[in-house]
């Protein structure tokens, strides 16, 4: 089989770690020929700083002053944010040097820039040289808006990232406007470029929860997206076919760009200043933290309003969340995440419910690592639990030895996986696993819903459904928040996240189709955090035929949490 040949369009022989990662992937994968680096087009005569300053001052002093102010503000913002960003994403500023890239084959071109310095075309000699190497596709990893023959000189054209949701945000810089505008979701697309500016064919898109700072938001988009470009490249190499594009999509928003210092000043006042103030107050009074609570009710065919649910008292220094209801020997029990603030770890506790009264049974399952989301179910007279155990990089099935407080590990269903909030559905003789996996390994479990199936509950080999994973790639829809049945219908609860606001609300979706081939659901309701006094978020709901439970959170100072 002929190996697939990829060219990377890069400004020079030093690039960021994310581009280096893609080049390295192609270089090491047996389906690909050695990568080609197309470069040289960026080199130009550099004007001295004094001369450039004098020329700009003569041309337009106001523009020059604005440019200087922009530069100063950008430097201030980056200096404030970079430490926090590198703590979460250590390779954010890392570079791949010329020695490493020098190992690969290079195609030296000249290029032709427009007067504005924005549009880049290639000469006929450049195009002939590129065509001579018989590349199958080109990956744009450099600067400039590509025009002309370069877009059609390979069989599969030029593929490119846009680290923004092009339905909302066209322009740049990546990750900035979503934070400034308070968007709950930030996206990326992988596209095949066309002659139309911002009019490429969208081959893939994904969205993640917007961070609270620009550089962190940009970093997580870069980290999250690379794995999906690798998948597209590998599929292209194997099948010699691009994914089906989204087709026509109208866009009505403005083109975002920082063309003055106004946006940066607004960012400092709206985003940076409140965080500095909050940090100062937190040092004086102790930090504010979300403290979850659980409430329950006999739902009367889901007719009882959530404000009427009875709240379960949190143990001192802990919170209860992620309730799952289970009936055993005629009595109702609620299994919950029991989070210990001082130890910063979750365990699984149980509550026995009897009418308006409840008995807190304390911890029934604990490990050396964090546990939460105790999905409890029955099969063949055995009671099982799948708690979230992503800190241990697996999905675990526990079997109950003595209800409700004695459990043993029965089977590891998946290993070496970053997965959260796993639930199982049995249809006929097939088990379906719905779980929130982070494909990129950055512990973002808010964005991707993956579905697998197996004929055997205790299998450690689960197959993805044919439509491919993730089936949902959207922080407003993906993360599981419970499951319940009613009138033979199955309902999946999903968390809805705000900007840097995990589990702000939840939606209820009827599962219309779940098969080995595809998954379809439709939203039937959305619940906001306004049904209890002072609550700020709600992210989980579960019920059996008679009892239902919900969770929600309130802000509390950390010192108070430890005392109450």
Same domain, 248 and 339: no
CB 34 within 8 A of CB 105: yes
Nearest Cα residue to 204 out of 184, 222, 187, 183: 187
Nearest Cα residue to 347 out of 309, 380, 373: 373
Work out whether strand 36-39 and strand 6-9 pair parallel, antiparallel, or are unpaired: parallel
**Tokens representing residue 79 in the block:** 């200096």
Q: Which residue has the tokens 């087709």?
A: 247
User: Could you tell me if residue 1 is inside a domain?
Assistant: no
HSE value, Cβ hemisphere, 13 Å, CA-based, for 496: 15
Q: How many CB atoms lie within 10 A of CB 547?
A: 19
Dihedral sign from CA coordinates of 294, 300, 305, 308: negative
Same domain, 37 and 90: yes
Within 8 A by CB and 6+ apart from 194, the residues are 151, 200, 201
Q: How many CB atoms lie within 10 A of CB 194?
A: 15
- The pair phi, psi for residue 259, each rounded to 5°, is -100, 0
Same domain, 465 and 334: yes
User: Of the residues 242, 262, 279, which one is the last residue of a structural domain?
Assistant: 279
- With b for 16 or more beta-carbon neighbours within 10 A and e for fewer, the 270-286 pattern comes to ebbeeeeeeeeeeeeee
User: Could you tell me if residue 121 is inside a domain?
Assistant: yes
User: Could you tell me if residue 416 is inside a domain?
Assistant: yes
Instruction: Give the model's pLDDT for residue 198.
Output: 65
- Residue 323 CA, chain-centre distance (Å), reads 24
Give me the CATH number covering residue 421. 2.115.10.20
CB 325 within 8 A of CB 548: yes
**Tokens representing residue 161 in the block:** 């990232």
The beta-strand segments (E) located in 341-462 are: 345-354, 357-365, 372-379, 382-388, 394-402, 406-415, 419-427, 430-437, 448-454
Same domain, 181 and 227: yes
User: How many Å is the maximal CA-CA distance in the chain?
Assistant: 87
Within 8 A by CB and 6+ apart from 211, the residues are 175, 179, 186, 217, 220, 499, 500
Q: Which domain holds residue 442?
A: 286-563
Same domain, 225 and 345: no
Instruction: Give the model's pLDDT for residue 42.
Output: 82
Within 8 A by CB and 6+ apart from 267, the residues are 77, 176, 179, 180, 214
Instruction: Give the model's pLDDT for residue 311.
Output: 98
Give the total number of structural domains in the chain.
2
Enumerate the H helices of 240-367 as residue ranges. 262-267, 273-285
Give me the CATH number covering residue 38. 3.40.50.170
Nearest Cα residue to 476 out of 441, 433, 506, 519: 506
User: Of the residues 239, 264, 279, which one is the last residue of a structural domain?
Assistant: 279
Instruction: Give the model's pLDDT for residue 200.
Output: 84
pTM higher than 0.75, yes or no? yes
Can you give 43-108 as a three-state secondary structure string? CCCCCCHHHHHHHHHHHCHHHHHHHHHHHHHHHHHHHHHHHHHHHHCCCCCCEECHHHHCCCEEEE
Using CA atoms, how far residue 347 sits from 13, 101, 320, 364, 372, in Å, is: 50, 48, 10, 8, 6
Q: How far apart are CA 221 and CA 207, in angstroms?
A: 9
User: Of the residues 257, 279, 301, which one is the last residue of a structural domain?
Assistant: 279
Q: How far apart are CA 129 and CA 535, in angstroms?
A: 64
CB 56 within 8 A of CB 63: yes
Instruction: Give the model's pLDDT for residue 45.
Output: 46
Same domain, 363 and 406: yes
Nearest Cα residue to 334 out of 368, 298, 370: 298
Using CA atoms, how far residue 19 sits from 37, 168, 186, 215, 496, in Å, is: 11, 25, 20, 18, 32
User: Could you tell me if residue 430 is inside a domain?
Assistant: yes
The beta-strand segments (E) located in 149-254 are: 158-162, 170-171, 185-192, 201-209
Same domain, 244 and 380: no
- The pair phi, psi for residue 125, each rounded to 5°, is -65, -40
Same domain, 324 and 270: no
Nearest Cα residue to 305 out of 553, 554, 484, 548: 548
Classify 421 as helix, strand or coil. strand
Instruction: Give the model's pLDDT for residue 168.
Output: 84
Question: For every one of its 564 residues, what pLDDT tens digit does the chain have, with 9 covering 90 and above?
Answer: 799 999 999 999 889 999 999 999 999 999 999 999 999 998 654 444 455 555 554 556 666 787 889 999 999 999 999 999 999 999 999 999 877 888 899 999 999 999 888 899 999 999 999 999 999 999 999 998 999 999 999 999 999 999 998 888 878 899 999 999 999 999 999 999 998 766 789 999 999 999 999 999 999 999 999 999 999 999 999 999 999 998 766 666 677 888 889 999 999 999 999 999 999 999 999 999 999 999 999 999 999 999 999 999 999 999 999 999 999 999 999 999 999 999 999 999 999 999 889 999 999 999 999 999 999 999 999 999 999 999 999 999 999 999 999 999 999 999 999 999 999 999 999 999 999 999 999 999 999 999 999 999 999 999 999 999 999 999 999 999 999 999 999 999 999 999 999 999 999 999 999 999 999 999 999 999 999 999 999 999 999 999 999 999 999 999 999 999
Same domain, 513 and 532: yes
Same domain, 362 and 303: yes
Q: How far apart are CA 338 and CA 346, in angstroms?
A: 5
Same domain, 297 and 272: no
HSE value, Cβ hemisphere, 13 Å, CA-based, for 364: 27
User: Integer distance in angstroms from the first to the last C-alpha of the chain?
Assistant: 67
Length, in residues, of the chain:
564
**Tokens representing residue 38 in the block:** 């197309």
User: Could you tell me if residue 453 is inside a domain?
Assistant: yes
Same domain, 202 and 318: no
Using CA atoms, how far residue 563 sits from 312, 359, 362, 532, 552, in Å, is: 17, 22, 18, 22, 20
Strand order in the sheet with 310-312: 310-312, 288-298, 547-557, 537-543
Within 8 A by CB and 6+ apart from 489, the residues are 510, 511
Instruction: Give the model's pLDDT for residue 62.
Output: 66
């Amino acid at each position: 089989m002929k190996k697939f040949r990829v060219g990377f369009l890069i400004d020079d022989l030093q690039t960021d770690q994310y581009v280096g990662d893609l080049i390295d992937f192609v270089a090491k994968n047996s389906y690909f020929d050695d990568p080609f680096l197309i470069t040289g087009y960026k080199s130009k005569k550099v004007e001295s700083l004094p001369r450039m300053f004098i020329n700009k001052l003569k041309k337009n002093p106001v523009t020059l002053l604005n440019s200087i102010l922009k530069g100063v503000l950008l430097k201030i913002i980056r200096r404030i944010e970079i430490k926090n960003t590198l703590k979460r994403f250590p390779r954010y500023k890392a570079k791949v040097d010329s020695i490493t890239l020098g190992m690969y084959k290079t195609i030296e071109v000249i290029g032709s820039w427009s007067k504005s310095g924005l549009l880049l075309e290639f000469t006929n000699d450049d195009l002939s040289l590129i065509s001579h190497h018989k590349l199958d596709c080109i990956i744009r990893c450099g600067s400039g808006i590509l025009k002309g023959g370069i877009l059609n000189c390979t069989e599969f054209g030029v593929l490119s990232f846009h680290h923004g949701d092009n339905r909302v945000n066209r322009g740049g810089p990546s990750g900035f406007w979503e934070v400034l505008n308070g968007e709950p979701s930030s996206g990326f697309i992988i596209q095949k470029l066309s002659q139309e500016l911002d009019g490429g064919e969208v081959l893939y898109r994904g969205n993640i929860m917007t961070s609270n700072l620009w550089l962190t938001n940009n970093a997580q988009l870069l980290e999250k997206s690379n794995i999906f470009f690798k998948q597209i490249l590998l599929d292209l190499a194997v099948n010699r076919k691009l994914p089906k594009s989204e087709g026509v999509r109208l866009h009505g928003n403005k083109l975002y760009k920082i063309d003055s210092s106004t946006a940066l000043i607004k960012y400092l006042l709206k985003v940076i200043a409140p965080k500095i103030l909050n940090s100062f107050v937190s040092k004086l009074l102790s930090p504010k933290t979300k403290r979850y609570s659980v409430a329950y009710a006999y739902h009367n065919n889901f007719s009882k309003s959530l404000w009427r649910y009875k709240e379960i008292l949190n143990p001192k220094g802990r919170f209860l969340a992620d309730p799952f209801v289970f009936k055993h020997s005629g009595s109702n029990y609620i299994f919950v995440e029991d989070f210990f603030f001082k130890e910063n770890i979750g365990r699984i506790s149980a509550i026995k419910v009897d009418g308006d009264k409840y008995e807190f049974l304390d911890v029934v399952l604990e490990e050396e690592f964090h546990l939460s989301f105790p999905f409890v179910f029955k099969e063949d007279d055995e009671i099982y639990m799948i708690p979230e155990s992503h800190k241990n990089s697996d999905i675990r099935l526990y079997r109950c030895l003595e209800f409700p407080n004695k459990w043993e590990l029965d089977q590891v269903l998946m290993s070496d996986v970053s997965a959260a909030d796993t639930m199982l559905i049995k249809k006929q003789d097939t088990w379906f696993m719905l779980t929130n996996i982070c494909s990129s390994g950055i512990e973002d479990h808010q964005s991707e819903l993956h579905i697998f199936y197996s004929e055997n509950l205790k299998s450690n080999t689960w197959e993805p459904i044919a439509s491919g994973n993730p089936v949902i790639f959207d922080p407003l829809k993906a993360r599981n928040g419970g499951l319940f049945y009613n009138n033979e219908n199955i309902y999946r609860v999903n968390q809805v996240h705000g900007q840097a606001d995990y589990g702000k609300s939840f939606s209820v979706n009827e599962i219309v189709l779940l098969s080995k081939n595809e998954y379809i659901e439709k939203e039937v309701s959305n619940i906001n955090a306004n049904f209890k006094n002072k609550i700020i978020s709600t992210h989980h709901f579960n019920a059996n035929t008679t009892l239902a439970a919900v969770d929600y959170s309130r802000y509390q100072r950390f010192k108070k949490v430890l005392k109450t």
